[in-house]
A and B are shown apart, each in its own frame.
Chain A
Amino acid sequence: MHDEIRQILAQHGRLPVDVQTLSDDADLYEAGMTSHASVNVMLGLEDHFDIEFPDRMLKRSVFESINAIAAALSELREEAAV
């Protein structure tokens, strides 16, 4: 899942650095992701994983690192499985 997230970040995150150089818990906003780009990342993730982030997850902290995004995606998948 982490690789797929990296791919989407590379496509939509408009980061000034190469995503591959960032660790899984690096702060993406500190790395230069703007709030506008983060919306495109969210759309990209929804499309790729065929999920919808509920409003309670649509906040900065959920998208601040690759690990945080992966945790949110896992939570959504578990909910879907129940």
Chain B
Amino acid sequence: MSVTVDQDQALIDDVRWVAEEVAAKHADSVDRDARFPEETIAALRERQALSAFVPRELGGAGVSFEALASACYELGRRCGASAMVFAMHQIQVATIVRHLDDAPWFEEYLRELVAEQRLIASVTSEVGTGGDMGRSIASVEPSGDGTGRFEKQAPTVSYGAHADDLLTTLRRSPEAEPGDQVCVLTRKDQHTLEPTGSWDPLGMRGTCSPGNVVRAEFPLEQVLPTQFAAVMNESMVPISHILWSHLWLGIATDAFDRARTFVRAAAKRKPGEQPPTALRLSVLMSELSLLRAEVYSGLREFVEASADDRARLSEMATILRFNNLKIAASEQAPRVCQGALGVCGIVGFKNDTPFSVGRHLRDTMSACLMVANERIHQTNASLLLIAKEV
């Protein structure tokens, strides 16, 4: 137990150091040039942070899920795009760790991930599925000699060109129904990415997520044994929603901190007189605390549900719970950033002051689109017809 606690603290301290000393320094150029945060990822690699969640028996640090969430928050406070790349990578690692089902190929893969600090990107969305991750068009096409191939049209692949490996969702076979899916892990020398668009978005610019046609050939043992429906409900969806919301909270917290610094500076200029923005800051604090409460309770409920019986995560009431976390956090985070802009005024609006919050606002505006909230509401609306206690 104490070993895990030490490992947890070590990860959080390391990631906080990387966030403050590396990510913060490069955040503006990553954002301005829409470039991959290579310095941050290199520093995380050096500290073995990419394999922190891999169990100790496979060579990793075996940190808790809570520690991963805190790490996303720390990075989010300094560079939203770095935090998103780290979070998305950890979602793939956690998915493999929780569902490898003793498959020898995946155990060996995780050992290599530890040794080489490999970065995993995901290819879950697909042109033509209307944003529904639970359905695929592309399939695993067996070649008959123990290998398979696929070709998938992906509308976005975050940092695909910078990743070592890809985790791709596909129909199990050419005959399988759209919802009968598996995940396949392929290495850089087994797949090709053909970009189908450019990348000049409003925010989260450093995630480098253009569309791609992904083609791969691979041995069939690289198909994760567990059916994707279980992987999605028990891990990929709730873990995504929790790690994303932690990094959104990190971005919003930094926007709030900038607003607070601004108000304190104003107060110091006229001692004994409350600056008019102080009241707005107080209002903003209550908005931030609502976001924090939702994010922390979501994490706690996930950890509890995972501990007693992971199948509970497949129950509709639980699916609704983590969908709500995503909707609430993705709407509240930009609200806090916009409030911080209201406090800081023109110096917040300018991109080159210590109170700039433009990047924060733009980065958090991506939150409601990453799995569109509209799509999640459609799922919730259907589940609400039958779920009893929500």
Contacts and interface: CB of A to CB of B under 8 A. Distances in A.
A39 B385 contact: yes
Interface in A45-70: 46, 52-56, 58-61
B177 interface: yes
Interface of A is mostly: loop
B269 interface: no
Nearest to A36: B382
Contacts of A55: 315-317, 387-389
B324 to A, nearest CB: 15
Interface string B35-71: 0000000000000000000000000000000000000
Contacts of A36: 382
Interface in B345-390: 379, 382-383, 385-389
A45 to B, nearest CB: 10
A54 B388 contact: yes
Given A34-B179, A59-B315, A43 B386 contact: yes
Contacts of B220: none
Nearest to A52: B388
Interface string B297-324: 0000000000000011011110000000
Contacts of A29: 177, 179-180, 229
Contacts of A59: 311, 314-316
A61 B230 CA distance: 9
A61 B234 CA distance: 12
B266 to A, nearest CB: 51
Interface residues of A, number: 22
B52 to A, nearest CB: 31
B176 interface: yes
Contacts of A46: 386
B315 A39 contact: no
A36 B134 CA distance: 11
Contacts of A30: 176-177, 180
Interface of B is mostly: loop
B14 to A, nearest CB: 38
A39 B365 CA distance: 32
A11 interface: no
Contacts of B179: 29, 32-35
B233 interface: yes
Interface in B207-231: 229-230
Contact of A39 (B233, B383, B389): B383
A29 B314 CA distance: 14
Contacts of A16: 177
Contact of A61 (B176, B311, B382): B311
A31 interface: yes
A61 B314 contact: yes
A42 interface: yes
A76 B230 CA distance: 25
Contacts of A61: 311, 314
Nearest to B230: A60
Nearest to B389: A55
A58 B317 contact: yes
Contacts of B386: 39, 42-43, 46, 53, 58
A48 to B, nearest CB: 14
Q: Chain A CB within 10 Å — which of B176, B386, B389 has the most? A: B386
Contacts of A52: 388
B316 A31 contact: no
Q: Chain A CB within 10 Å — which of B135, B179, B230, B311 has the most? A: B179
Nearest to A30: B180
A32 B180 CA distance: 8
A32 B177 contact: yes
A31 B177 contact: yes
Contacts of B311: 59, 61
Nearest to B180: A30
The 3 closest A-B pairs by CB, nearest first: A32-B177, A58-B316, A59-B314
Given A32-B177, A32-B180, A60-B230, 6 more contacts: A35-B134, A35-B379, A36-B382, A56-B312, A60-B233, A60-B314
15 contacts: A29-B179, A29-B229, A32-B177, A32-B180, A33-B179, A35-B179, A35-B379, A35-B382, A39-B386, A43-B386, A55-B315, A58-B315, A58-B316, A58-B386, A58-B387
